Amino acid sequence: MTELQLWLSAVEMGCFFGILALAYYLVQVGAGFFNFAIGPYAMMAGLCTSWLVIEYDMGVWGAAAIGVLATLALAAVTELGVVRPVQHRSGGGELPALVAVAAVLFAIQQLAGYLFGHPTLPGQSLATFDPVTVGETVIQPSSLLLMAVTVVAFGATAVWIRSSRTGRLLRAVGDSKNAAALLGLPVNRIRLIAFLLAGFLAAVAGLLFAPKAGVHSLSGLHWSVSGFLAVVIGGTGSVWAPLVGGMLLGLAEVFLPYYFGGQSHVYGMLLIALLFFAFRPQGLFVRTVRA
């Protein structure tokens, strides 16, 4: 494997982790806690798409649309049917919400195993153009599409949060849900929008990354952990912070096994997580709450 291929793989992994972390970021900013069901959302979109293409010979774009819609439905159910009732009964506490979304994580994985089985399914590429050759390195269309969509997703989210009324409301609700409610802001609607946008981003990430290594019903847990670590490393001080965390995590994921072999990336990621939790729990970029 050439040096360029290693860096390309690291960037691809970083883009995937970054989009998952961006989904975490939106729920964290808008609802005030981490939605650990992000990974299963991505898994469900990729798995549903592959299953429809393989079992029913459906066109990849039609199958992808169904996968995204199914993921959006899961995100809506998570907020409306699980998180909101739990927080209402618990007085708005964050811990019950975290427990609830952790339960959703495992419930979605069980549902995926029941619906689609447990074998690994090959991911379906949405890109149809020819691979790009750079020297001895061949860049697959799915890799180029993932990187391009990552830049668009982060850029569009940054503009939306800063420039749109809904984006500003999202930040206001995240700063203080109680103050936003007292001011008459639509807190519940904004929270639902945050969940739906996070679900959409996770679905897109799952669709674009699945061609690299396939997808199965247990992928969700690993992807949830990776996305969470990326947002922990990057922090929530900027929309682009999750991408920085994702890239650093991608470098560790690719280069540690290359130089040290075995499962060194697992131990490396664990060490990175412990260091950040111990010495920099707010991440590299700290979010400033407006007074």
pLDDT in tens, 192-231: 999 999 999 999 999 999 998 899 998 999 999 999 999 9
Tokens representing residue 203 in the block: 């679905």
Single-letter code of the amino acid located at 104: V
- Domain ranges across the chain: 3-123+136-279
Q: How far is CA 199 from CA 37, 60, 219, 268, in A?
A: 9, 20, 16, 28
How many angstroms separate the CA atoms of 46 and 218, rounded?
Answer: 12
What single-letter DSSP state applies at residue 138?
Answer: E
- Spatial neighbors of 115 by CB under 8 A, at least 6 apart, are 51
| pLDDT band (50, 70, 90) for residue 290 | very low
Look at residue 31 in the predicted model and tell me its pLDDT.
81
pLDDT tier for residue 291 given thresholds of 50, 70 and 90 = very low
Asked if residues 35 and 27 have their Cβ atoms less than 8 Å apart, the reply is yes
What band does 11 get if pLDDT is binned at 50, 70 and 90?
A: very high
**Mean of the pLDDT values across residues 153-163?**
94
**Cα(27)–Cα(174) distance, rounded to whole angstroms?**
9
d(CA 126, CA 146): 10
Q: What is the CATH class of 3-123+136-279?
A: mainly alpha
Tell me what the pLDDT averaged over the chain comes to: 87
pLDDT of residue 107: 93
Place of tokens 């999202």: 170
**What single letter denotes the amino acid at residue 76?**
A
In 221-290, where do the E strands start and end? none
| pLDDT band at 176; cut points 50, 70, 90 | low
pTM above 0.75, yes or no: yes
What are the backbone dihedrals phi and psi of residue 266, each rounded to the nearest 5 degrees, phi first? -65, -45
* Cβ neighbours, 10 Å, residue 134: 11
pLDDT in tens, 229-244: 999 888 888 899 999 9
Q: How far is CA 285 from the centre of its chain?
A: 18
pLDDT winner (highest mean) among 78-82, 127-131, 135-139: 78-82
CA 11 to chain centre: 16
Q: What average pLDDT does this structure show over 246-257?
A: 89
Mean pLDDT of 260-285: 74
Look up residue 268 and give its two tokens: 């490396």
